[in-house]
Amino acid sequence: MVKEGDKAPDFTAKDDAGNTVSLKDFRGKNVVLYFYPKDMTLGCTKEACDFRDNLVRLKHKDAVVLGVSPDGEKSHTKFKVKYELPFTLLADEDKKISTDYGVWQEKSMYGRKYMGIVRTTFVIDKHGKIAKIFPKVKVLGHVDAVLKVLGEL
């Protein structure tokens, strides 16, 4: 698992439009890299819409938002269009990014164990270092906590 202060693991992935995106493309900006389990689900939709509704405030902190889930490009495109999400969603179908960041973990629901994304947000500073990790994110109030950290960078 990566720690605060570590250099953020670089990655390359396809976005919701089929473009290739790398973390290094955002050097010089603060990056809010948030991992979520699945497009179109209740908690993930609420989280995405909170980032959408606060995007102007995030941009004032010189930040870009990147959402990552194991869903593919087509799923991301539908999710983005349906909820008018104005930021990039990355397809992590092989779970490489999720594994590199330590968020692909064993989970349990109704006594059944399975592998999945643990909802986590990483704030990466302009130099590519992890400034803050929000593990096991609770959606309510999360964006305000992210904005507070960005205000301290």
Q: What are phi and psi of 47, to 5 degrees?
A: -65, -45
Between CA 86 and CA 84 the distance in angstroms is: 6
Res 42 pLDDT > 90? yes
Per-residue pLDDT tens for 49-68? 999 999 999 999 999 999 99
- Residue-wise pLDDT for 73-121, tens only, equals 999 999 999 999 999 999 999 999 999 999 999 998 888 998 999 999 9
Is residue 83 within 8 A of residue 41, CB to CB? The reply is: no
**Three-class secondary structure of residue 14 per DSSP:** strand
From 8, 23, 33, 44, active-site residue: 44
**11, HSE (Cβ side, Cα atoms, 13 Å):** 19
The pLDDT mean for the chain works out to: 95
Q: 66: which 2 tokens?
A: 């990147």
- Residue 120 CA, chain-centre distance (Å), reads 7
Say whether 49 is catalytic: no
Say what the pLDDT of residue 65 is.
Answer: 98
What CA dihedral angle connects 102, 51, 89 and 16, to 10 degrees?
170
Global pTM value: 0.95
- Under DSSP, is residue 138 helix (H, G, I), strand (E, B) or coil? coil
pLDDT at 146 over 90: yes
What token pair was written down for 31?
Answer: 């990056």
Q: Is residue 1's pLDDT more than 90?
A: no
CA atoms of 146 and 122, how far apart (whole Å) = 9
Which residue segments constitute the domains of the chain, with CATH numbers given? 12-152 (3.40.30.10)
| pLDDT at 147 (0 to 100) | 96
Say what percent of the chain tops pLDDT 90: 93
